[in-house]
Amino acid sequence: MIKEKFTNLKITIVGLGVIGGSFAKSLKALNVDKVWAVDLDDKTLVKAEELGIIDKGYKDASEPIQKSDLIILCIYPKQIIEFIQMYKNKFKNNSIITDVTGIKNGYIKAINPILPESVDFVFGHPMAGREKKGIDFSSREVFQGANYLITPNKRNEEENIKLIEELVLAMGFKRVSRVDVDKHDEIISYTSQLPHAIAVSLINSDEWAPEIDLFIGDSYRELTRIARINEDLWCELFMGNKENLIPQIELFENKIRELKDYLINGDEEKLKELFRESTKRREKIT
Amino acid sequence: MIKEKFTNLKITIVGLGVIGGSFAKSLKALNVDKVWAVDLDDKTLVKAEELGIIDKGYKDASEPIQKSDLIILCIYPKQIIEFIQMYKNKFKNNSIITDVTGIKNGYIKAINPILPESVDFVFGHPMAGREKKGIDFSSREVFQGANYLITPNKRNEEENIKLIEELVLAMGFKRVSRVDVDKHDEIISYTSQLPHAIAVSLINSDEWAPEIDLFIGDSYRELTRIARINEDLWCELFMGNKENLIPQIELFENKIRELKDYLINGDEEKLKELFRESTKRREKIT
């Protein structure tokens, strides 16, 4: 059983939101030795203890991280830098840190120089989430069948990367891939940030609220679900990856302009060609 | 029981695709007197008879429509005009025709002049569907909780509009609304055609296929689901409603350009304002 690998692990989760809470629930189900959590919100910690999804909650990270083999940072990108700076002398020797943030390059460059020698930070990105915030919306199901990306760097030990890979597969992720950090941020600007930019812009161009509710079907609901967005987190992700995101938006703008031009010109054959191409592409996606 | 109202109804469904098949399944569940179907495809008719979701299938509409109180046209907009022209002398006196097409104005203008006096065409639009074609993907569930729009015109009898309203509510639609036909086409260009234009353009701007599959999460999957699109149907809907759709695309283009400008200028506060606005709007949608 692969699960036996994890029964000695002591783990601290920092930030018990949707993702942190989902990690806690998943790790408890794997019977790891300890799941501790750090959060600024008392109620969240009490709730998590009562639910039995953590062994103990802390407002200060000093105590749990000194005993932890693995620390999972489920906080905003900028907070990660602050966290490392604040606690750099408290980590256990040979412990592993990992994160869940949606953009990587800038943060890896900022974090690696301030990281203690004895700690290995394996940067990770679970491609999963919910549009609603907070532990109440966390669940093991969030991760089932989802993609996980790891952006290794030359400081990382192979065995530590492997541990993260095995752990997240055991939690229910379907595929874990190792990708170059620049490529990660470039493709993610297309698959993650651009869809959010589109959803926000679509709903913000509504001129018929509130009666719009009578005129919508599944497609509009789906295309706007993520327009309900955590403004602080996504502002960081957008601004932190703008060098990639801006050209992606422009590529998309070109494509929708092309479609519009075919409409204006009444070019049915060209329009159908776009539809055939999009259908072919969508059928390939799992 | 409202259902008793329908037990004497003889109904012909023309076109047994996803929507036609879902009508057949829903009407059978309501115990209407007869559900006949017309389709060009023999296999579809045989399958529907074997499933027991229709009483009998026909390739020629002449026979069933002569006996039908209600005819539901689940075919493409342009085919509706051909159908009315071909069968205008066959309809039973005082029968009702309805349709399910996603745009209305041009078709109502073309159909009303060629319609026999003794027939009442109540134009309808179920805001429901599937991205996959054919009877195999039909189900009663398609319609559960969905919106239904009716665009009455001065030829319509009040009692006939009411019958359609009661029938589709009994089938599981949540809300039926009567709307002005110009307004219907204008709002639908925003809630239905624009999301399809966006989904198609998003997936067509992918530059990383086939490895993109490793980098996607729920948001990308959702925003591209409808990029798998019936090219003939949607070409008709786009071209037939281009006077409304083009300005809608431009409104959306302005909104995404605004977002891009905030990114370029690093204006975090303005970007967050867009996110707050989109969140507020999305929370209001049911």
Which three-class secondary structure string do you get for B138-189? CCHHHHCCCEEEECCCCCCCHHHHHHHHHHHHHHCCCEEEECCHHHHHHHHH
In tens, the pLDDT along A45-57 reads: 999 999 999 999 9
In tens, the pLDDT along A80-117 reads: 999 999 999 999 999 999 999 999 988 888 999 999 99
Between chains, do B203 and A272 touch, taking CB under 8 Å as contact? no
Which amino acid makes up residue B117?
E
In tens, the pLDDT along A161-189 reads: 999 999 999 999 999 999 999 999 999 99
**Residue B98: which of B135, B148, B62, B49 has the closest Cα?**
B148
How far is the CA of A168 from the CAs of A82, A274, B58, in angstroms?
A: 26, 38, 55
CB B44 within 8 A of CB B135: yes
Distance CA A58, CA A45 (A): 7
Quick one: pLDDT at residue B3? 56
Average pLDDT, chain A: 94
CB A102 within 8 A of CB A73: no
**Residue B122: which of B144, B99, B101 has the closest Cα?**
B99
In tens, the pLDDT along B6-59 reads: 999 999 999 999 999 999 999 999 999 999 999 999 999 999 999 999 999 999
* pLDDT band for position A77 (cuts 50, 70, 90): confident
Query: Residue B37 forms beta bridges with which residues?
Result: B13, B57
Looking at residue A138, what DSSP letter applies?
-
Whether chain B has a CB inside 8 Å of the CB on A239: the answer is yes
* pLDDT band for position A4 (cuts 50, 70, 90): low
Q: Pairing state of beta strands B96-99 and B10-14?
A: unpaired
Whether chain A has a CB inside 8 Å of the CB on B239: the answer is yes
Residue in chain B lying closest to A228 (CA):
B279
Residue with tokens 């692990």: A9
Edge-to-edge order in the sheet of strand B70-73: B56-58, B34-38, B10-14, B70-73, B96-99, B120-122
What string of pLDDT tens digits covers the 286 residues of chain B? Answer: 455 679 999 999 999 999 999 999 999 999 999 999 999 999 999 999 999 999 999 999 999 999 999 999 999 888 999 999 999 999 999 999 999 999 998 888 899 999 999 999 999 999 987 777 889 989 999 999 999 999 999 999 999 999 999 999 999 999 999 999 999 999 999 999 999 999 999 999 999 888 899 999 999 999 999 999 999 999 999 999 999 999 999 999 999 999 999 999 999 999 999 999 999 999 999 7
Length of chain B: 286
- Which of A:207-236 have CB within 8 Å of B? 207-210, 212-232, 234-235
Quick one: pLDDT at residue B1? 41
**Residue B206: which of A271, A252, A261 has the closest Cα?**
A252
Q: Mutual orientation of helices A18-29 and A158-171 as an angle, nearest 10°?
A: 90
CB B120 within 8 A of CB B160: yes
Q: Residue A149: phi, psi to the nearest 5?
A: -115, 140
Whether chain A has a CB inside 8 Å of the CB on B154: the answer is no
Over the range A221-240, which residues count as b (16 or more CB within 10 Å of their CB) and which as e?
ebbbbbbbbbbebbbbbbbb
Distance CA B175, CA A182 (A): 49
Distance CA A36, CA A65 (A): 9
Quick one: pLDDT at residue A129? 77
- Indicate whether A3 pLDDT > 60: no
Between chains, do A274 and B190 touch, taking CB under 8 Å as contact? no
Q: Pairing state of beta strands A120-122 and B124-126?
A: unpaired
Provide mean pLDDT across the span A16-40. Answer: 96
Q: Do domains B2-179 and B184-284 have the same CATH topology?
A: no
Provide mean pLDDT across the span A25-53. Answer: 96
* pLDDT band for position A17 (cuts 50, 70, 90): very high
CB atoms within 10 A of CB A140: 17
CATH topology of domain B184-284: 6-phosphogluconate dehydrogenase C-terminal fold (1.10.3660)
Query: Residue A36 forms beta bridges with which residues?
Result: A12, A56
Quick one: pLDDT at residue A1? 41
From chain B, pick out residues whose CB is under 8 angstroms from the CB of A281: 203-204, 206, 209, 224, 227
Which three-class secondary structure string do you get for B2-51? HHHHHCCCEEEEECCCHHHHHHHHHHHHCCCCEEEEECCCHHHHHHHHHH
CA B217 to chain centre: 28
Distance CA B85, CA B47 (A): 29
Query: Residue A89 forms beta bridges with which residues?
Result: none
Distance CA A18, CA A136 (A): 7
Token code pair at residue B81: 């005009």
**Residue A29: which of A7, A13, A8 has the closest Cα?**
A7
ipTM rounded to 2 decimals = 0.91
**Residue A7 CB burial class (10 angstroms; 0-12, 13-18, ≥19):** exposed
CATH topology of domain A2-179: Rossmann fold (3.40.50)
From chain B, pick out residues whose CB is under 8 angstroms from the CB of A214: 147, 149, 175, 177, 179
Distance CA A171, CA A149 (A): 14
Q: Pairing state of beta strands A147-150 and A124-126?
A: antiparallel
Token code pair at residue B9: 């109804």
Token code pair at residue A88: 């750099």
* DSSP string computed for B204-248: HT--STTGGGGG--HHHHHHHGGGS--HHHHHHHHHHTHHHHHHH
How far is the CA of A27 from the CAs of A115, A225, B87, in angstroms?
A: 26, 28, 66
How far is the CA of B262 from the CAs of A13, A119, A227, B99, in angstroms?
A: 34, 38, 17, 45
Q: Residue B244: phi, psi to the nearest 5?
A: -90, -40
Can you give the residue ranges of every domain in chain B? 2-179, 184-284
Whether chain A has a CB inside 8 Å of the CB on B114: the answer is no
Peptide bond into A247 cis (omega under 30): no
CB atoms within 10 A of CB A110: 15
Between chains, do B274 and A227 touch, taking CB under 8 Å as contact? no
From chain B, pick out residues whose CB is under 8 angstroms from the CB of A195: 202, 219-220, 223
Distance CA B223, CA A198 (A): 9
Between chains, do B127 and A187 touch, taking CB under 8 Å as contact? no
